[in-house]
Structure 1
Amino acid sequence: MESFQKFANNYPWFILIVIAWCVTLKGITLWLAARRGQLIWFITLIIINTIGILEILYLISIRKKSSNFNGNLVKISSPSFWGNVSVAKQK
C-alpha cells in the first residue's frame, strides 16, 4: 500500500488518465448495451469494475457481430459534441 501511495504522489496525472479511461469506456458500453436492450450485459457492466477489461471485451464482441450485419444503418440522436452517430439496426 505504501508503494502505491508513493506512486500516486509522484504520478497523479497517471491516476487521472486511468480514471478518464474507465469512465469513458464504462459510459460508451453502458450506453450501447442499453440501446441494444442487452440487460444482462448492462447489469454485469454496471456491477463489475475491471479497469476497462470487461468493457473492451463487450465492445469487441458486438463489433464482431455487427461487422457481418448487412442491414441498413440508422442515424440516432447523440450529444452535439459527438456529431452524428450511425449504428446498425438490429432485427
Structure 2
Amino acid sequence: MRGNWEIMEAAMGGWWTVLMLIIVADVILRGMGMWRAARKGQQGWFVAMLVINSVGILPVVYMLFFEKKGKK
C-alpha cells in the first residue's frame, strides 16, 4: 500500500515543484518589501504586505512604484 506522501506526489506531478518555487519567491519578495517599508517608516505598506497574500505581487508593486525614493 502506498503512503500518503507518495499518493500526493503522484497526484500533483510536476506541480509540486512549481508550487514550491512560487512559495519561495513569495517569501523572498515579501521579506524584501516588508524590510524596505519598515526602514522607510511606511507602516501601512508593511501591514498590507503582512496581511494580504498576493503571491509576491504586492511587494513588487510597492518596490517599483510606491517606495519613497531618497537616502538609504
TM-score class, shorter: 0.7 to 0.9
The residue aligned with 2:33 is: 29
Note the residue ranges of structure 1 that are not aligned, 5 or more in a row: 67-87
After TM superposition, list the pairs within 5 Å mapping 1:67-86 onto structure 2. none
Which residue of 13, 24, 27 maps to 1:20? 24
Residue 42 of structure 2: which of 38, 43, 60 is its match?
38
Q: Give the unaligned 5+ runs of structure 2.
A: 1-7
Shift of 1:89: 1.3
Structure (1/2) with the larger helix percentage: 2
Counterpart in 1 of 2:61?
Answer: 57
**Which of 9, 12, 25 pairs up with 1:9?**
12
Tell me which protein shows more strand as a share of its residues: 1
Q: May I ask how many residue pairs the two structures share in their alignment?
A: 62
* AA in 1 matched with 2:13: N
TM-score when normalising by structure 1: 0.60
* Alignment deviations for residues 5-62 of structure 1 (CA, whole Å, 9 cap, x no partner): 79x7112111110001100000000000000010011011101011111111101112
Over residues 55-89 of structure 1, what are the superposed CA-to-partner deviations in whole Å (9 max), with x where a residue is unaligned? 11101112xx53xxxxxxxxxxxxxxxxxxxxx41
Task: Please give the secondary structure, in 1, of the residue aligned with 2:47.
Answer: helix
Q: Identity rate of aligned residues, in percent? A: 34
| TM score, norm. by length of structure 2 | 0.74
